[in-house]
Amino acid sequence: MTERTSLGHRFGAFVERAGRKIPDPVIIFMALYPLAFLVTVLMGGHTFESMGAGGEPVTYEILPMYQSEHVRWVFDNALLQNWLGFGNGVLGVIFVVMLAIGIAERSGLFGALIKRAGSHIPQALLPLLLMFMGVMSSIATDAGYLVLIPLAGLLYAGLGRNPLIGMAVAFAGVSAGFSANLFPGPVDAIIGVNAQAFAEAQGVPFTTADGTPLRPATMNYYFIVVSTFVLTLTGYFVTRRFVEPRLDREPFEVPDDIEAGEFQVSASERRGLRASLGGLVVAVLVLLGMIYGPLASFETEAGAQVQPWMDNIILLISIFFVIVGLFFGIAAGTFKSVGDVVKAMVGQMNTMGYILVLTFFCYNFLGLLSYSGLGSYITYLGAETLLALGLQQFPVLLLIGFIITTAIINIFIGGLMSKWMLLGPIFVPMLYFVNPAMTPDLVAAAFRVADSATNIITPMMTYAGVILAFMRKYRPDMGFGDMLLIMLPYSLAFMVIWTALLVGFFTLGIPLGR
């Protein structure tokens, strides 16, 4: 074993051991709630002064939560206001999006699209198109991991080349490029609506630096569209420059149980894809009818421009996926009755059980922080520390520092939503009060960069074990350290290039979205 491989194994083993010792985020929030309650008992009545959203000094007080009126508040608000109603019903928005994506995904649409595209890729463009398809597959949730990555290995095996090359570039696109896309999707809804809730809970305006109101689902849209092409080119370069030269020299084997037909488009899927084109036309017509009909933009008597369709973009996107998914599922035979559609939605909701548990404890904890004033105090202490270091004069350093911090945490704690719940409530208000240029959309974009770029070098990522199992079909002795060494160039390149892109948007004053 070479020294480099040994180093990879040691680092992989260290991350795995450390990650297993970190409790599940649900357990962390379960422990933080009584701890925060105890702190309010000890610090109840303490006052402090901080800068308000408008620049004026505001006096805050930490409430003693042991008093009867405050205990009653805990019980009266635990279910509705603090959980289901948190952030004006953010949980409901997330569920609606997932229902729509569930219909499209469980109809087989996403898997068929990936297989169809994968079977028509010229060899010279294989890494480029696999990377692009990987990035785009983030809107299809599991399909990218479970269809595109093994398909990429099969494509390379058919060409007589190391299948790990194809699997690596597909894995980089699907997971390291997870937050980029050409279309807003579930990630945008989850991050955006929660960012708005985090900001408004502590008096941070949900606007850009020039005061333009933000829309949760599209506040990073311009950035993620540009990121899609930048990451595709970056991944292609890394593959050709670093990954291919190394893996083309290494041995591999193709097991007998690999069936090419498993990743070929079936006759029913071809029928579904043809029908989905009609569904696409219908969906576009329905959306245009809404945008130029009841949801059309208008001007108020005061001269303000109102765009109802943009305010409801999440629902419109959901309608689009429902229509196209139904057309595919009915034609492909996946949906033979309305009951099958219901089962698809129920099946998708079955995967949301963890989200329900996580948000119950997380949102109640955040509600306690907001009501008691303890959240404002934590923000105040963090902001004062950063001010003491003089970092308010260097917003780029604040931005890069937050990206590095999040990237390190991501290596040890998996799950985009759980980390956003841990970091967002602290950093969204804290960084804004240190420097008002650090708006919620900018902090959210920085989080997305850091969270995605390091997904492929941590065993804590949900699909890390699955991808390793896929790769072991072609190299049985492969360990996580070996996979880490293959994926590390992608992670480092994405971190550097993507961070530089975000810094460029920020310093040049380019809007991240709308």
344 CB burial (10 A radius; 0-12, 13-18, 19+)? buried
**pTM, entire model:** 0.73
For residues 240 and 155, give the distance between their C-alpha atoms in angstroms, rounded to a whole number.
17
Tell whether 247 is covered by a domain. yes
Task: With residue 57 as reference, give the H or E element that holds it.
Answer: strand 57-61
Residue 409 is predicted with a pLDDT of 79
Tell whether 296 is covered by a domain. yes
Q: What is the CB-side half-sphere exposure of residue 40 using CA atoms within 13 A?
A: 25
What helix, strand, coil percent values describe the chain, rounded to 5?
70, 5, 25
Tell whether 90 is covered by a domain. yes
Tell whether 107 is covered by a domain. yes
For 141-168, give the secondary structure using H, E and C: CHHHHHHHHHHHHHHHHHCCCCHHHHHH
Residue 149 is predicted with a pLDDT of 85
Tell whether 319 is covered by a domain. yes
Amino acid letter, 215 = R
Residue 390 is predicted with a pLDDT of 78
The angle subtended at Cα 287 by Cα 206 and Cα 113, nearest 5°, is: 95
Residue 85 is predicted with a pLDDT of 81
Tell whether 514 is covered by a domain. no
Tell whether 513 is covered by a domain. no
Residue spans of alpha helices (H) in 202-257: 221-238, 244-247
Q: In the chain, how many domains are there?
A: 1
Are 209 and 435 spatial neighbours (Cβ–Cβ below 8 Å)? no
- For β-strands 47-51 and 298-299, DSSP reports them as unpaired
Tell me how crowded residue 308 is: count the other CB atoms within 10 A of its CB: 13
Residue 285 is predicted with a pLDDT of 96
**From residue 339, how far is each of 106, 272, 283, 310, 346 by CA, in Å?**
13, 19, 22, 32, 10
Q: Which domain holds residue 241?
A: 3-508
For residues 167 and 154, give the distance between their C-alpha atoms in angstroms, rounded to a whole number.
9
Residue 231 is predicted with a pLDDT of 96
Phi and psi for 502 in degrees, rounded to 5?
-65, -45
Residue 1 is predicted with a pLDDT of 45
Tell whether 489 is covered by a domain. yes
Task: With residue 114 as reference, give the H or E element that holds it.
Answer: helix 109-118
Helices (H) and strands (E) counted in the chain, each on its own, are 23, 4
Are 398 and 435 spatial neighbours (Cβ–Cβ below 8 Å)? yes
**From residue 303, how far is each of 214, 298, 299, 306 by CA, in Å?**
19, 9, 6, 9
For residues 239 and 245, give the distance between their C-alpha atoms in angstroms, rounded to a whole number.
9
Q: For every one of its 514 residues, what pLDDT tens digit does the chain have, with 9 covering 90 and above?
A: 455 555 555 665 665 566 566 676 688 888 889 999 999 999 988 888 765 544 557 787 899 999 999 999 999 988 888 888 876 676 777 788 778 878 887 888 877 876 776 666 677 788 998 999 899 887 765 667 777 888 788 778 777 789 999 999 999 999 888 889 988 877 888 899 889 988 988 888 999 988 889 998 899 999 999 999 999 999 999 999 999 998 988 888 877 655 555 557 888 989 999 999 999 999 999 999 999 999 998 877 776 677 888 778 778 888 998 999 999 999 999 999 999 999 988 887 876 777 788 788 888 887 888 889 887 787 777 777 777 777 778 899 989 988 988 888 777 666 677 678 778 888 898 899 888 999 999 999 999 999 899 988 877 676 777 788 888 888 888 877 788 889 999 999 999 999 999 999 999 999 999 8
